[in-house]
Amino acid sequence: MFDRYHSSIMPTIYQTSGYRPPVRKRHRLSLSLDEREEISRGLVAKLSIREIASKLSRTHPTISREI
């Protein structure tokens, strides 16, 4: 019926009482995966936290927390 083994879906069914769980969404202020990748590239390029933050139009504490 679900194209899955019974044992793989039962925990989800038990946790959600048989209802489909809500779609997860990131908060609008959360860093995107692209921004996280840009932070990683900036670190490899030896950029400062403030330089990375400026490039992404984010505050330096946001970048610092991600690191």
Which residue ranges in the chain fall short of pLDDT 70? 1-6
Alpha carbon distances (Å) from 62 to 27, 43, 48: 14, 14, 13
pLDDT digits (tens, 9 = 90+) for 27-45: 777 899 999 999 999 999 9
In the chain, domain spans: 31-66
pLDDT on residue 2: 62
pLDDT on residue 4: 67
Neighbours of 53 (CB within 10 A): 19
Residues near 12 by beta carbon (within 8 Å), at least 6 away in sequence: 21
